[in-house]
Amino acid sequence: MYHMLHVAPNQEETALISTIERVLEKFGHQLTLTKAHQCDDLQYLLLKQQYNFVSVSTSYTPGELFERINLMAEQMRREKRLVPLIYAVNWVTPFPTLLGTHWGQKVGILHSLSSEAEVTATLQRLGELGEVVDLLAYRSLHSRRRSTDP
């Protein structure tokens, strides 16, 4: 069971979340998704549950995004646990906001047009799929499966 916290101002990035869910299912994992909109929600949810990764929308203004990332960083410092951060880029937003951070080399960038292979590679790099698989073999298997589907 993978617990993901999605921090977004509204019900967006559903295509990205669906792709993440499909990738995790292929690796035998189930996704439990929790959504936060306001900072109060975020703070409460971070205290309530330990997440495998957090995705944060780039639709926030720079100040709003900084406030949310800072809140997450403070909570993780208290817990002495770094949860991987995924920026969820929303291409509908005219000026997506990405704040510069190295987040302990546990930061990724995905978007609604990300392929399953891209999501797989990002989650593996972040250490969220455990053992790294050969993506060429994965793509080959995926292509064969697709060609045999009716």
Residue 134 confidence class, pLDDT cut points 50, 70, 90: very low
Residue 147 has pLDDT above 60, yes or no: no
- Which is more confident, 65 or 101? 65
pLDDT at res. 13: 63
> pLDDT-derived band of residue 135, with 50, 70 and 90 as boundaries?
very low
Are the CB atoms for 65 and 58 separated by under 8 Å? yes
Q: Which residue has the higher pLDDT, 142 or 112?
A: 112
pLDDT in tens, 14-66: 778 888 888 888 888 888 888 888 888 888 898 888 899 899 988 889 999 99
Mean pLDDT in residue range 81-107? 85
Residue 82's pLDDT is 87
Q: Mean pLDDT in the chain?
A: 81
**pTM of the model as a whole:** 0.79
Share of the chain above pLDDT 70, in %: 83
What's the rounded Cα separation, in Å, for the pair 101 and 82? 13
Q: Specify whether the CB–CB gap between 2 and 84 falls below 8 A.
A: no
Domain spanning 2-148: CATH superfamily: Response regulator (3.40.50.2300)
